[in-house]
Each structure stands twice: as structure tokens, then as C-alpha cells.
Amino acid sequence: VTQDPKLDGIPRYVRVNTCRWNTKAAIKYFESKGFMHKPLGFPEEKTFSQDPHIPDLLLFHPSVQFHTESAYTSGQIILQDKASCMPAVVLAPPKSQKSYVIDATAAPGNKTSHLSALMGNVGKIFAFERDRRRFNTLQKMLATAGCSNVEALNADFLASDPESTVFAQVTHILLDPSCSGSGIVNRMDHLLGQAEENDQDVTERLATLSAFQLSMIEHAMKFPNAQKIVYSTCSIHAEENEQVVKKALDSEHARSAGFQLASRDQVLPSWERRGQETELGTQFREWIQSPLYCVSTSSWPGSVIRCNPGEDATNGFFVSCFVRQSNPATSIQ
């Protein structure tokens, strides 16, 4: 969050962690602290409201600090940008003892804890994090948030065996891999300045990142029971977003495993800003409407979500969702 809240118009978002608390109790608590509850709208300094798209998300004025607040240190609330709450809501893992979910890139753990809350803290989440230091942060975060249905793994998701007895049961996968971070508002000026000076470096970096992001989606598509895969970034670059989705859908993995883009009504339909058609050009539009993918004009670019910094009261973000339409015709090597 930027130092000057007026610059970005992003409220202080507070997600009530339903592994530890509930929104009704949170509203009472904040009222007792002198905040007035107004159901909707941008909050003033002493008011707060509820988000119209994300359940259990409260909005405070950007100047309000919660880092020393007991509800925060005890894990009852999680400070998480609205856009970053969208992937777990779109993945919508079932609330069931039999629910098996993977968060492939988990640290620091905001989305893992959100998945855990949406699952009612039952079933099982395997949370991969390959970086040791970030894995320690993840473990602390999950302990504070009281997420007892998560098994954190200090491991590389790309090295996991999709056919193993345990992972073969996984039905839902969240992929929020490393990206350029170009949508994060307080990094934007810095990145834009760099882009002008080092266009070639930026292009090379995006090419490396997008190849890695694609490999993560392709690996996720190898899980034999995966029904739903959500891919998100905090990047504003089409190279890491729509173009990666296009390559993934066009891959042999997607075809043989039967993955397609989820339709708009499965991807937070009430959110208006959708994928950037202009970034993709006509070639992509023609391709996505081809009989192979059967995505109609009205659903593309509607089936993916964009959040634009400076326009949506969030950081820049992208969310897409792949669903398996059929049983895999052949097993993927």
C-alpha cells in the first residue's frame, strides 16, 4: 500500500478469517472500537463497509493501520488486497472432508488461509513453497490463522508426482506463481521508469517468467482428478496473463486432459472488468472462437478477470480458471 492513500484510492482491505472468527462478530468488534458500519461505499476515516463481491471482506479508510491490532496479531483478520481474494473465491473448493486441494505457490499464505476458510477448515490443502525462508513465513502465518486442514510442504510443485496416491485425489489447484509484480501499485513508478530504460531486459524477463508460468499450468493439468485450476498473477502484462492462458489452452496437455476456459458465470460474474481483448489482437479472438475451444464472442474476453490499478480500487491483478470438460483421452507423459 502506498504511503499516500489518496494516490491510489485503495481502501484498507480486511478479510475476516472465518477459521477463527465471523463477520458478524467482527462488525460488532469494530463498532466497539469507534468505527461506524456503513454497508456500502468507500469508507471515511471512522467508517467501514462490506465488499459487494468478496464475502467476509471489510473496507476501511486507507490511513487506518491494523498491524498492532489484537484481531490481526491473533489471526482473526488478514490484511489482504481485494484482488488477491479473487482466486480462492473463483476456485471455490468444496467444504467437505473429502476435498483435496493444492496451493502450488503458497507463501506468505494469504490465499492458502483463504482457501482453508472457504473449506470450513476441513478436507486437505497441500501448500507448496519451494523457498525455505518463505516456507517458514508460510508456516507461521498458517499457525496464526488457525488453518488446521493445511499440510505445508517445503517443495517444488514442478517436482511433485501427480500420479502419487495422495495427489491423485486432488480436484482443485490454485496457481499464483512468481510474476513481475507490475500490478502492485507501490511498485508501478519504479517499474515504468525501468521499462523505458531497459526495454530489452523487461522483454527478456517477461519471456522467462511466462515460460515458467506456463510450465506450472501444464504441470497442474497432469493431476488426473483435477477438475478446476485457477491461474492468477499480480501483473498487468498480457505476456504473463492472457497470452499464458492462450498458450496453456493450446498445449497438448490441455487438449489431452480436456481442459478449457471456464465460462464467465463461473468466474466472479459480478466483477465487470474482464480480459483485455486489445492486448491479444484479432488472432487470439479468432482462435478462442474456433470450434476447438467453443468460447463464444460474448464469453471472451469475459471468462477472465482483470483488475486495473487506479481504476478498480485494487492493485493490478489477473485471474483465469480452467475446467476439465471431459475425462482425459490419454494419459499425459
Using the Cα atoms of residue 212, residue 213, residue 218 and residue 220 in order, give the sign of their dihedral: positive
Q: In terms of CB distance, is 48 or 157 closer to ligand SAM?
A: 157
Applying CB under 6 A, the span of 99-107, 119-127, 189-197, 312-320 interacting with ligand SAM comes to 99-107
- Of 234, 294, 307, 321, catalytic: 234
DSSP structure class, residue 317: E
Any contact of residue 56 with ligand SAM (CB under 6 A)? no
Any contact of residue 37 with ligand SAM (CB under 6 A)? no
Any contact of residue 328 with ligand SAM (CB under 6 A)? no
CB of residue 128 vs ligand SAM: minimum separation in angstroms? 4
Any contact of residue 151 with ligand SAM (CB under 6 A)? no
Any contact of residue 111 with ligand SAM (CB under 6 A)? yes
> Is 129 marked as binding a ligand?
yes
Asked whether the beta carbons of 223 and 168 are under 8 A apart, the reply is: yes
Question: Considering only residues 129, 239, 240, 312, which one is a binding residue for ligand SAM as defined by CB under 6 A?
Answer: 129
DSSP string, 256-275: HHTEEEPPGGGS-TT---B-
Asked whether the beta carbons of 127 and 109 are under 8 A apart, the reply is: yes
Sequence-distant (6+) residues with CB within 8 A of 13 are 51, 57, 58, 59, 60, 79, 80, 81, 82, 85
Question: Considering only residues 21, 48, 157, 223, which one is a binding residue for ligand SAM as defined by CB under 6 A?
Answer: 157
State in Å, rounded, how far the first CA of the chain is from the last one. 43
Nearest position to ligand SAM, beta carbon: 105
CB of residue 173 vs ligand SAM: minimum separation in angstroms? 12
Any contact of residue 107 with ligand SAM (CB under 6 A)? yes
**Hey, which residues between 171 and 190 contact ligand SAM (CB under 6 A)?**
176-178
Q: In terms of CB distance, is 69 or 131 closer to ligand SAM?
A: 131
CB of residue 109 vs ligand SAM: minimum separation in angstroms? 5
Question: Considering only residues 105, 116, 144, 180, which one is a binding residue for ligand SAM as defined by CB under 6 A?
Answer: 105
b (16+ CB within 10 A) / e for 216-240: bbbbbbbbbebebbbbbbbbbbbbb
Question: Which of 137, 138, 163, 165 lies closest to 151 in space, CA to CA?
Answer: 138
Any contact of residue 312 with ligand SAM (CB under 6 A)? no
Question: Considering only residues 108, 120, 258, 269, which one is a binding residue for ligand SAM as defined by CB under 6 A?
Answer: 108
Any contact of residue 274 with ligand SAM (CB under 6 A)? no
Question: Which of 138, 44, 54 lies closest to 14 in space, CA to CA?
Answer: 54
> Is 252 marked as binding a ligand?
no
Number of residues that bind ligand SAM (CB under 6 A): 19
> Is 201 marked as binding a ligand?
no
The Cα–Cα gap between 164 and 251 comes to: 23
Question: Which of 279, 189, 287 lies closest to 238 in space, CA to CA?
Answer: 279
Asked whether the beta carbons of 103 and 142 are under 8 A apart, the reply is: no
Cell of 173: 489447484
Any contact of residue 277 with ligand SAM (CB under 6 A)? no
- 147 is an active site residue: no
User: What pairs with residue 152 in β-bridges?
Assistant: 127
Applying CB under 6 A, the span of 128-136, 183-191, 261-269, 278-286 interacting with ligand SAM comes to 128-136
The Cα–Cα gap between 287 and 51 comes to: 36
Residue that has been written with the C-alpha cell 488426473 in this structure: 224
Which residues are known binding-site members for S-adenosyl-L-methionine?
129, 156, 176
Q: Which residues bind ligand SAM (CB under 6 A)?
A: 84, 105-111, 128-131, 134, 156-158, 176-178
What amino acid positions are annotated as catalytic residues? 234
Binding residues: 129, 156, 176
